[in-house]
Structures are given as structure tokens and as C-alpha cells.
Structure 1
Amino acid sequence: MTGLVGVILAATVVVMLLGAGILLHENLHRQEGKFRADLRLELFLRDDTTPDELRELTDQVKSLPGYESHENQDKAEAYARMQGALGTQLLPPGGYNPFPNSLIVTFAPRATTFQNFQSAENRLKSIRCVEGIRYPKATLMSQENIYSFFGKVSTLLLVLVAAALFLIMWLGVRRIALARKEESRILVLLGANWKQIGLPLIGKGLTVGIAAAIAGLLLLYLLWHLSSRLSLQLSFITGNGIALVAACSIVAG
């Protein structure tokens, strides 16, 4: 019994670690999604840009992979936004406005990668009306490296913890089987008939089987939550539900 209690405690601790790893893994993806949602590609236009050139540029922008939307921002609007943000008069009334007209491009989250931004820059910089292109190049590159590294580490840890959980459950089931075998041997030596030996084993076997089936369904539900990246709380509760069912099955056995 002491060994079974140890197995239960070990399984519970491992599943708690699995739940914490799931929370960390999903939180990492959520932070990455928030970072990418704020990324924009800004095209600065020449002052002498004609409507035809702007229309041609817009068509080129719409054909970019992952294009979602764009916004035309003239220099007066850009100046007004900057002045509103700083809360002060930047230039004397009627003075020269140094802000260029711009075209701000938004991409779908899956397309907000450094490679896609760089490809768009190489494709659009040769157009005559484009004076400059801006996006957080260094920040995007470093953040992608960070998210990629920690994503691989968290995935590896989840795999190792899940493997440890299955190993502990296997050891628990094996210990139960050995204990049942020894119990049956003792009952035979004491002269028990097949009903006294078999019926309790059948009942306990059904209990363990049902508990294992429920744990399997919970595991599939957990994997579905991970693949669809739904709420953190549901994934965590599901992971701990697996530990509870596994513990109950071991105790019942």
C-alpha cells in the first residue's frame, strides 16, 4: 500500500508539472500572438506621388502574401497624431511639415514573420513612389529567435513530463498486477474457490478499466485543447482530471 501511495503522489506531482508546462506553453504562444498583432509595414511616399502610382502601389500591396488591410495616412494626419501624442505644438503655424505621406499595411498574424516582411520590403522598395520602408526589423528578428527557442524547450519539457507520467502509471498498474497475483496465490493456498477469487478481480478490473477509459478520453480532450489553443484554465483542469482519475483507478485496484 505504501508503494501505491507513492505512485499516486508521484503521478499527481508529475501531472501538476504537466499542467504548469501547458500553461507556460500556451502563455508563450499568447504573448507571441500579441506581439505579432501590433506589427505593421509602413511605406513612406514621395511628395510628388501621383494617384496612378498610388493605385499601382496599392495593387502591389494587396497581392503580398498574408495581406489583410491597409491605411492611407497623409502628412497632415501623421503630424496631427504626433502632436497629439506629445501634447505640444511641434511646428509654427503654417510651417513646413516634414512628415511624409504613408501607406500602413497590416498582415494576418501567420504572415507577420521577419521573412515575409523582408520579402515585402525587397519587392516594394524598387517602386518609384516609395521613398522608404519601416518595420521593427531588429526587434522582430530577435523576438522570433527567442520565441522559437523557448517554444522548442517548452515542447521538449512537455514531452518528457508526459513520458514520465505514462511511466509512473505503467509502474502503478504493474504493481497492482503483481499484488493481485500474489493475493490470488494466497487465496488458493487457503482453499478459496473460483468465485471468491475471480469475482472481486472482475469487479476491480472493470473499475480500473472504466477509470482508464475516462482518463484516456480526458487525455484526448487535453490534446484537442492544446492543438486548438483554447483556454488555459480548461487545459489545466483537464490535466489535473487525468491525475485524479488515474489515482482513483490505482486506489480501486
Structure 2
Amino acid sequence: MIRYVRAPDHIAACDLGPATVILDYRSGRVHTLIGAAARWWTELSGTGDMSRPTALPPRAARTLSSHLLSTGALEDSSSKRPWAPPLKGRPWEPSWGVHEVRFALSEIPSAPVRWTLIGIGALVATLAVQRAGAKTASMARLTALVGAVNRRRRIPASPGEVLDAVHAVRRVALASPFRVACLEESVAAVIILAMLGKNARWCHGVAADPIRLHAWVETPDGDAAAEPPSTRRYTRTRVIPETKEPVTA
């Protein structure tokens, strides 16, 4: 009997060469497929037909598909519904384990007092939304929040305004008793800009060696605001608002 499956809209996949990374933008869960399993996902995306031969032996294919169905990376479909193949990630380059590492405490970033005060509310709102419900849906709540505030503001923020927003959040985060990493920081920065009547592009992506995720905010000219050069290694897998430009950062 033919069984069809599909990847839900909240799933994104990126081919990094040695591995294909599947990201769940509802739960934040990440799956990494290598070798035949990665080829299996790409082949399956073209048909959605579980009965067709693939790169994996039938038993292995059933085991992997069962796992992905149980975690929400795949769902049953009543008909053939192919989905987009994995995004082509930036060329894999060995880093030999060397990345930018802070040797000492960074200077406290400078930001206008008004922006910093607004940043307090923005960060509180971000953390509240992140924690206001099931942990398995925290990523969905945050991306929905970014989409909602960006839709209400159509005036693009200037590069300087985006930079001020990121710096304001980082100043506030220094006094936060809660974990504030790139995800929370970038969402709060977008909220600051929205509260000031502006919008900016929120990005989330993946890079290889080692496989890692990152979130950041871009200026209108496409530069990652207050980010190190290594951010260019990331392939954007989710952008809000959506863009038709190439997904590589």
C-alpha cells in the first residue's frame, strides 16, 4: 500500500555537504542526517512516497521515518505532496576548531538611554512569550511574535537604528537573571525597532564544522548587525519578513 508523507511548513532543511540539518521552527528541535539518510530525505522530498525505493534499505527507512513522524518533522498526507529539497548551504570549510573566542570580557556596548529603557520591556516580553506555554512550542511563539511586530511596521530601520537596538538589548541582557543568547537577543531587538515604528529583517540559520545554529538581525543593506565575520558562514533557513534574495548570509 502506498503511504504518503510530507514535511510541514514549520520544517526547514539545509544541505551542508557532510550532513543535512532539519530544523523544526515549531519546537526548536534539530535533526542531523548523514550519508544515505541525508540522501533519503532529499529523494523523499521529491515524491513523499514511502513505498518507493530510496538510498536507505527499507527497514532503515521505516525506522527513520517513524522517528521523524513522532517528532513532527514529517506528517502523513492523503496524497502525493512533494516539498522543497534541502537548501544548499554555504560551502563547507574546515575551521580546524578555530573560531572567534572572547579572550576577555567585552566592553559594554553603547546605546541611547531611551533605546536601553525600551530594551528592558522588549527583553521581558521576549522571555515571557518564550516561557508562556509548552516548551515544545517556544520557537513557534517567538517566530510568530517577530512576524506580528514586523507586519505592523513598514518603515525599514536604518543601519544605525538596527545597531542601536542590538546594543540596547545586549546592555539590558547583562543584568538579566535569565539566559539571553542570540535567539532571545535578536527577537528583542526586532521588538525595540517595532516599538519605535520601524522593522528589520530577522534571520536564523545553520553552519557546519561544527554544526551550529545562530539568530541575528540584518540592516536594510543585508549586513548582520553587530556580528563577527563568522556569521557569514551561516545559511539562512528562516527569514522574517520573507525575502526572495539568496538565503546565504
TM-score by length of 2: 0.18
Structure number with higher helix proportion: 1
* Higher relative contact order, chain-length normalized (CA < 8 Å, sep 6+): 1
Computing the radius of gyration from Cα coordinates, the structure with the larger value is 1
